[in-house]
Structure formats: C-alpha cells, structure tokens
Amino acid sequence: MSVAPEPTTTRLIRRMSVTVGTDHHPFERLISWAEHWAARMPDWDVQIQHGRTRPPVHGTGFAFCEHQRLQELFEISDVIVTHGGPATITEARRRGHRPIVVPRDPRLGEHVDDHQQLFSRRLGRNGVVELAETEDDFLAAVVAISYLPRQRQSSEDIPPGVFKVGAVAERLARRRNRH
C-alpha cells in the first residue's frame, strides 16, 4: 500500500488534492480527469488519493493515507477535488475550500446507488460546492476555484436539511451493502 507523500518545502504555483475516498468501487473517471490536468499543468503539484483505482500516470498518487495526513493536504492545497461523501466535503469546507465534487455514478460501476449524485447536486444548487459531472465541468471548476480566495467555513454554512439527506443516503447505502 502506498502512502501520502510529505509536502515539499518549495512552493509551486498551485497545489491540488484529489480524493476518491475508501469505497471499494474503482473511480477511473476522476483519476483520469485529475491526471489529465496534471499532464497539462506541470507546474501544479497534483496529489491524487486513488484508493482501489489504478495509480495515476501523471501527478503524485497514493492509495490511502491517515485521516490526519489528508487534513494536512487539505490545509496546504489551493484546490480540493473529492467524491460526493458528506464527511469529506465538510472537512474541505472547514479548511476554507469550496470543494469540487465529482459524485460517483452507479451506472459506471463507481457506487451501488445514486445517493452521491443526489446529495452533490443539492449542494451544488445551494452554492456549497462546485459540481463536476463531466470533464469539461471539472476543468472549468478547477480554473474558477483556483482563483477564489479561501474562507474559513464550518458545517453551519451548509443548510441542515442537506446533511440530513446525506446522512440518510449514507445509511441506506451501507444497509444495502450488507444484504
């Protein structure tokens, strides 16, 4: 198992951290988009937590890392790209990011159901995240977000009903996985 690299002491122009989470389903689409960005933008430091998906060709890949290490990456990054999990989105927001969220798509074998899509779309409509469901959306969001100032935010910035929907969806998905 590969581990997350330590941050470099030399500051590059921009730093992006990408996380697919710990779900056992591969997430080739997000890895592909992130590595395309890294190939096109060699002056960016692109850290890609790829989970059980293949390691990226471009950028720095690692399968998993400790929670604390992920928080450190979020702290030092200019752009955060994540799957549609509520906990990861909240952690990114707490560190002042408006995360780019690429929800897993069950039609592509990325998850068991569409709860990440439903949750992420709702957050996108509320302006809490930048939703990216296509590579063009992803590229536009990275450009837009990389020029926004970071602001410390908390989970209180997200309407309470949004988290209730996310929590119910997560419970249903876990229950479905057990059967």
CB-based contact 4:90 (threshold 8 Å): no
User: In terms of pLDDT, which residue wins out, 154 or 79?
Assistant: 79
Q: What angle do CA 46, 48, 50 make, to 5 degrees?
A: 165
Q: Quick one: pLDDT band at residue 2, thresholds 50, 70, 90?
A: low
Residue 3 has pLDDT above 80, yes or no: no
Do residues 76 and 67 touch, judged by C-beta distance below 8 A?
Answer: no
Give Cα separations from 93 to 22, 67, 120, 128, 175 (angstroms). 19, 15, 14, 9, 27
113-117, 138-142, 147-151: which has the minimum mean pLDDT?
A: 147-151
Q: What is the DSSP letter of 9?
A: S
Query: What's the chain's Rg over C-alpha atoms?
Result: 15
Mean pLDDT over 129-156 rounds to 85
- Compute the C-alpha angle 71/73/78, nearest 5°: 120
Q: Residue 124: what pLDDT?
A: 97
Q: What would the pLDDT profile of 27-41 be if each residue is shown by its tens digit? A: 999 999 999 999 999
Does pLDDT of 150 surpass 90? no
Residue 10 pLDDT exceeds 70: no
- Predicted confidence at residue 160, as pLDDT, reads 62
What's the whole-number mean pLDDT along residues 100-126? 97
Instruction: Please report, for residues 1, 93, 149, 157, the alpha-carbon distance to residue 123 in angstroms, rounded to integers and kept in the order given.
Output: 33, 12, 20, 11
Tell me whether strands 14-19 and 44-49 are parallel, antiparallel or unpaired.
parallel
pLDDT digits (tens, 9 = 90+) for 87-98: 999 999 999 999
| Domains, the chain | 14-178 (3.40.50.2000)
pLDDT of residue 166: 58
Give the bridge partners for 130, in sequence order. 100
Phi, psi (deg, nearest 5) at residue 118: -60, -45
> Which DSSP helix (H) or strand (E) runs through 111?
none
